[in-house]
Amino acid sequence: MQNLYLPELDAHLCYHDLPGREPVCVYLHGLGSASSADFPHIAHELAPYRALLIDLLGYGFSDRPAAFSHTLTAHAEIIARLLDHLGLRQSHVIGHSMGGSIGIALAAARPDLVSGLVVAECNFDPEDATFSQMIVDQAKTEEEYSTAGHDAVVSQAEGWAVSEPALGSFPGTLRAADPRAVYR
């Protein structure tokens, strides 16, 4: 696993850079997930293309800086910095759920970095944000969510995974996520 150090946040953005030919496929995970857990099998299926599996700040193996806002725009700016750092242009961005929204923000802000965009289960309207609404309903404040609400959401996810085996890794990635990142 590789990382990009972000000095202003004193944080590392972690990612897998799997070799292959261009164009690179950039994978962005959804809320409570991690690309390192969600996308290796998909990247394998799309071989021989180079793949960047990025764990967003607050998720997976990336650091959890308290000062990071976790807005879609802020995440898109960090992804742009990574792509600039790696000298990549015209990437194919694949985003699931929140990762799709981040991909849209990235493509709008930096069209030089994105030549193709695939979004799955992306939230285009607030009414589409069922999981996000569930998180907000758990607590009125970030502190309240961090101390009790996050555990309640993880417990619900564990129940979902029992009835839907495809969600098997989600409780673990959600449990490992920074509650502040999930709430914000």
pLDDT tens digits, one per residue of 145-182: 999 999 999 998 898 888 887 777 899 999 999 999 99
pLDDT over threshold 80, residue 33: yes
* Per-residue b or e along 15-52, where b marks 16 or more CB atoms closer than 10 Å to that residue's CB: bbbbeeeeebbbbbbbbbbbbbbbbeeebeebeeebbb
pTM: 0.93
Give 130-146 pLDDT, tens digit per residue.
788 888 888 889 999 99
pLDDT at 103: 97
Strand-strand pairing, 11-18 and 2-6: antiparallel
pLDDT over threshold 70, residue 125: no
Mean pLDDT of 119-124: 82
Look at residues 40, 92, 101 and name the one whose alpha carbon lies nearest to residue 70. Answer: 101
pLDDT at 86: 98
CA dist 132 → 32, 67, 92, 93, 137 (Å): 10, 21, 26, 22, 9
User: Element (H or E) spanning 116, and its range?
Assistant: strand 114-120
Mean pLDDT of 102-128: 89
pLDDT class for 127, splitting at 50, 70, 90? Answer: low
Which residues neighbour 18 within 8 Å (Cβ) at sequence distance 6 or greater?
43, 50, 51, 52, 53
Which residues neighbour 67 within 8 Å (Cβ) at sequence distance 6 or greater?
9
Which residues neighbour 173 within 8 Å (Cβ) at sequence distance 6 or greater?
29, 32, 33, 34, 37, 38, 59, 60
Helices (H) and strands (E) in the chain, counts: 9, 6
Domains along the sequence of the chain with CATH? 2-120 (3.40.50.1820), 129-183 (no CATH)
Give 57-107 pLDDT, tens digit per residue.
999 999 999 999 999 999 999 999 999 999 999 999 999 999 999 999 999
